Amino acid sequence: MENRRSRRAAAAAVALITALLTLVGALTAPAAAAPPPLPYVHGGQTVPTYSYADAVRESVQVDTHLDSDHDGKPDTVAVDVVRPRTTTRVPVIMEASPYYSCCGRGNESQVKTYDQHGTILSMPLAYDNYFVPRGYAFVAVDLVGTNRSTGCGDVGGPAEIGSVEAVIDWLNGRGTARYRDGRTASPGWTTGRVGMIGKSWDGTLANGVAATGVPGLKTIVPVSGISSWYDYMRLDGVPRATDYPGWLASAVNGRPAGTCDAVQSDLNTAGDDATGDYNDFWAARDYVRDASKVRASVLIAHGLNDQNVFARNFSRWWDALAAHHVPRKLWLHQEGHTDPFDIDRGAWMTMLHRWFDYWLQGIHNGVMSGPKVRVERAPRQWQQQADYPAPGARPVRLGLGAGDGGAGTIDTGRGSGTVTLTDNPNLTETQAVGDPNTARADRAAFLATAFSGTTHLSGTPTVTLRFRSDKPDTELTAKLVDYGTAARDDYLANDLSGIENLATRSCWGESTADDSACYLDTTEIVRTTDYGVLSRGWTDAAHHTGLTRYTPVTPGRWYSITIRLQPQDQLLAAGHHLGLVLSLSDEENTTPSGTGANVTVDLTHSTLSLPVAGATHLGTATTAPRLTGTAPAAPATRSTPTRLLP
């Protein structure tokens, strides 16, 4: 017994001595060496360090597990890389696009060019010129089915998103790729940290890939991007154009003739033009539904007057990201389908530089501090805003009153009376919103008294109507108008961009003989007009029960429906008048099935909900104000095509 106790005591003593020696060793061991500073970081930012002319240029094919063209072979994705010539691993700025050969990128429609061996020679846009010398690689991905990639595009669906995911997997050592001569391509030059950027379809891909939660994607910068393809191709049940998905896929198709015909036909069938319903096809292309999966930070830029990718695509995405606590910032401008690079170039490039330095290089530069939103509320008048909608914005419910042979009223009281509309497929927007005091059978106009002070509109207006129709279906259109002379952005001009080129150029990065970093300067197109359309909204009467089921109305029966207009953020000047215009078919923006319906609206149970931050500055009105000088609009004509490339 005594021996056992002695052995236990000795063992305990040994254990204690061992522990003490381990502790002493840990305390006296030299501290682990700090990682060496990045050679291209000075003064709290990345700086030009590497030669752009001497950069490594590579073209590879990334393997995928997709077979989107159903040829029995996995699709491969063409990827072009420009990276610093250094042994230091660098992060990646990536733009995936269907436009690198068919349509071009940027205001000058640039395409990729290659040398005689098929290796990338010049990239569109200035991202490579500017960021590669600062310690970034730039990677340009040909979307599946386009340029030098195989497969067939499916317009925002699993094949397109999966093809870009495969590239991020390869950059993070989870996939394989080959040079064009068959040699294995290793991504050993990168840290695996990826930031995606791009405008329109390219920005859409950034949204869609982020919604998968793919590891390695650290940030995205979607510019004028789609967050729900239904919200792009359908306007609450109303098709923008027939056979739109297949047409888009064919417009950017880079495969031999006939290869993707069946896929494109299937896209049109699944899109279901006949009903306009939100179905499984659209759900698979609705990234807002998967916002909970987003692990990347998000910097959104969007035009509040974008008539290609409507502003609802940024606002629903922004709200969903907020609900899931995704780090995010927002730039809003008053132009159309335009990149901030062509609106406020210096400020935008400064923001991008700081954003990527923070999220991809880990430089603590304070970019996430301060207000979340930078917004242009009038031409060249930028403001910082804590959030969007503006803090304190709330819906102000306004009533609609029938007029006596002309415009009706908008006021803070309850509505009264009825109005009747007759469908006119040839009604233009200029006719609908111009000269609101003149009676027309094909539209109903309502006017408020003059604003007694500046009113801040921030958020999404809605119009709720109690209506009856003499046909089983009809489109319903609402337009919110600011009546009053002012300088306004002409966002419909120059292919819905709202900008025009100047004769001068500015340079953003280093150039080579084959790849210039210098771009035409631009300016906003601003005109003085008597009124401006603030927001537009459309819906289909047969979707009064919701967007998932086409339910024709019973002629003569009363129904209630809400039209969601596009979000906006503007200051409405004192002395101006708010107007609301209701009509039926709108063939300038949509492709409705014109039914020739006659619709009666019960104004007593119809309302306009206006999102206002601060005071509304509207009073009551017994009769509509008489406006002058509102008949001729500028521009006098409008030719918005219903089929657009996003």
- Among 385, 403, 423, which residue terminates a domain? 385
480 and 342, same structural domain? no
Q: Are residues 223 and 149 in the same domain?
A: yes
The angle formed by the CA atoms of residues 335, 393 and 615, to the nearest 5 degrees, is: 100
332 and 427: one domain? Answer: no
569 has which bridge partners? 458
- The answer to whether the beta carbons of residues 564 and 236 sit under 8 Å apart is yes
Q: Which of 385, 407, 424 is the last residue of a domain?
A: 385
Q: Which residue has the tokens 């999404």?
A: 460
Residue 363 domain flag: yes
The string of pLDDT tens digits covering residues 507-526 is: 999 999 999 999 999 999 99
Q: Return the pLDDT at 413.
A: 86
> Structural domain tally of the chain?
2
Pairing mode of beta strands 90-97, 137-142: parallel
Q: Indicate if 322 and 378 belong to the same structural domain.
A: yes
Strand, helix or coil at 441?
A: coil
Q: Which of 401, 445, 310, 400 is nearest to 610 (CA)?
A: 400
The pair of three-digit structure tokens given for residue 159, joined into one six-digit string: 């094949």
Beta strand extents in 402-541 (DSSP E only): 408-411, 418-422, 444-448, 455-459, 462-469, 475-489, 499-507, 518-524, 526-540
What burial class does residue 642 get, using C-beta atoms within 10 Å of its C-beta: 0-12 exposed, 13-18 middle, 19+ buried?
Answer: middle
**25 domain-assigned:** no
Pick from 300, 146, 156, 139: nearest CA to 216: 139
Which amino acid does the sequence have at 505? Answer: R
- Convert the pLDDT of each residue in 373-423 to its tens digit: 999 999 999 999 999 999 999 999 999 999 988 899 999 988 999 999 999
Domain check: are 75 and 184 in the same one? yes
Res. 2: pLDDT tops 70: no
How many other C-beta atoms are found inside a 10 Å radius of the C-beta of residue 161?
Answer: 26
> Which residues touch 526 (CB under 8 Å, ≥6 apart)?
379, 380, 487, 488, 489, 490
Digit-coded pLDDT (tens) for 166-190: 999 999 999 999 998 999 999 999 9
Query: Mean pLDDT over all residues of the chain?
Result: 92
pLDDT for 449-470, tens place per residue? 999 999 999 999 999 999 999 9
Task: State how far the Cα of 226 lies from the Cα of 331, in Å rounded to an integer.
Answer: 15
Q: How far apart are CA 79 and CA 98, in angstroms?
A: 12
- Does some domain include residue 631? no
Give the tokens for residue 437. Answer: 């005091």
Residue 136 shares a structural domain with residue 268: yes
Q: How far apart are CA 544 and CA 573, in angstroms?
A: 35
Q: Tell me which of 9 and 582 has the higher pLDDT.
A: 582
Based on the domain organization, do 542 and 410 belong to the same domain?
yes
- Any domain includes 505: no
| pLDDT of 36 | 75
Distances 210 to 207, 287, 314 between C-alpha atoms, Å:
5, 9, 14
Compute the Cα dihedral for 617, 618, 620, 625 and give only its sign.
positive
Q: Are residues 106 and 250 in the same domain?
A: yes
Residue 1 lies in a domain: no
- Domain of residue 429 covers 394-500+528-613
- pLDDT attached to residue 28: 41
DSSP, collapsed to helix, strand or coil, labels residue 256 as coil
Task: Return the number of other C-beta atoms located less than 10 Å from residue 402's C-beta.
Answer: 18
Same domain, 295 and 375: yes
Which among 339, 360, 385 is the end of a domain?
Answer: 385
Is pLDDT at 155 greater than 50 in this prediction?
Answer: yes
Distance CA 106, CA 123 (A): 11
Nearest to 365 by CA among 375, 374, 356: 356
Confidence (pLDDT) at 546: 96
CATH code of the domain containing 326: 3.40.50.1820
CATH number at residue 546: 2.60.120.260
Tens digit of pLDDT for each residue in 238-297? 999 999 999 999 999 999 999 999 999 999 999 999 999 999 999 999 999 999 999 999
Based on the fold, state whether residues 369 and 402 are members of the same structural domain.
no
**Percent residues over pLDDT 70 in the chain:** 93
What is the rounded CA–CA span in Å between residue 552 and residue 598?
15
For residue 31, pLDDT beyond 80: no
Tens digit of each residue's pLDDT (9 = 90 or more) over 320-375: 999 999 999 999 999 999 999 999 999 999 999 999 999 999 999 999 999 999 99
Q: Are residues 326 and 374 in the same domain?
A: yes
Question: If we measure between CA atoms, which residue out of 223, 205, 518 comes closest to residue 343?
Answer: 223
Query: Do residues 304 and 437 share a domain?
Result: no
Give the active site residues. 200, 306, 337
Q: Is residue 11 part of a domain?
A: no
pLDDT at 20: 40
Domain for residue 515, yes or no?
A: no
Residue 23, in any domain of the structure: no
CA 189 – CA 49 distance, rounded (Å): 17
The tens digit of pLDDT for each residue in 592-646 reads 877 899 999 999 999 999 999 999 999 887 788 888 766 544 444 444 557 899 9
Backbone φ, ψ for residue 307 (5° rounding): -100, 10
d(CA 641, CA 150) in angstroms, rounded, equals 30
Note the pLDDT tens digit of each residue in 50-85.
Answer: 999 999 999 999 999 999 999 999 999 999 999 999
pLDDT at position 629: 67
